[in-house]
Amino acid sequence: VAYHGGWVVADAAANSLLQVSSSGKIHLLARFPAVSETAPAGVLGPNPVTVKAQAVPTSIAVGPDGALYVGLLRGVPSVPGTAYIYRVVPGHQPKIWAHGLTAVTAIAFDRHGRLLATEYSTGGLLSPPTTPGALVRISHNGHTVTALPVKGLFQPTGVATGRDGSVYVSNYGGSTAKATHPGEILKISGLG
């Protein structure tokens, strides 16, 4: 995203947030820590397994307050409810702003200053590909995550908002042009 005369970039492989100046100079803004997470029996083997699940930044939005909001999906085992949205103010430690999300792929603020997020799969990354995704709204204080009544979301990977209140979601983001259901952009109205 454009930010303070340059850009801010999510580096998913390094679990970090980078600031890039207009001249191309790169500065580390934040690094997001891995968290111990237990995969239930049957996910990574016959018994429960505890792993360090990576904090993978997938999306950035500039909030109405000027802070950066960063959507993260939790790496394998990607248990439902373990993804976060961080609030980042340059020069300060990143803080978890919202939790209880699952496999966040994209975030955007709507015209009322509320944060929307797409969840790739409500069952986590290791769930069957027929598991639906979701579009959620997070309250102004980050404490409440509400699933919005949008049917037919599968592997949503992007979200944008229009001035008229419409929300645009890229759907079937893991599909290819040759898939039985190729990717599409949905226009969603009437969410309030």
Residue 30, pLDDT > 90, answer yes
How many angstroms from the chain centroid is the CA of residue 61? 10
Q: Does pLDDT of 84 surpass 90?
A: yes
Q: Which 3-state string (H, E, C) describes 82-151?
A: CEEEEEECCCCCCEEEEEEECCEEEEEECCCCCEEEEECCCCCCCCCCCCCCEEEEECCCCCCEEECCCC
Query: Number of H helices and number of E strands within the chain?
Result: 0, 17
Residue 85: CB atoms within 10 A of its CB come to 23
**Distance (Å, rounded) from C-alpha 112 to C-alpha 187?**
18
Render pLDDT for 102-120 as a digit per residue (tens, 0 to 9): 999 999 999 999 999 999 9
Mean pLDDT of the chain: 93
**Peptide bond preceding 57 in cis form (omega within 30 of 0):** no
For residues 110 and 117, the answer to whether their CB atoms sit within 8 Å is no
Between the alpha carbon of residue 174 and those of residues 29, 30, 114, 180, the distances in Å are 29, 28, 27, 12
Place of tokens 């997938």: 58
The pLDDT score that the predictor gives to residue 176 is: 67
pLDDT of residue 45: 87
State the average pLDDT over residues 51-61. 94
Residue range 75-100: mean pLDDT, rounded: 93
* The token pair that represents 4 in the structure block: 């303070």
Q: In the predicted model, what is the mean pLDDT of residues 6-32?
A: 96
Q: What is the pLDDT of residues 173-183, one digit of tens each?
A: 987 666 678 89
Structure tokens at 59: 């999306």
Among 81-95, 117-131, 153-167, the least confident range: 117-131
Q: What percent of the chain has pLDDT over 90?
A: 78
| C-alpha distance from residue 51 to each of 18, 38, 54 (Å) | 26, 6, 9
pLDDT for residue 18 is more than 80: yes
Q: What is the mean pLDDT of residues 113-130?
A: 92
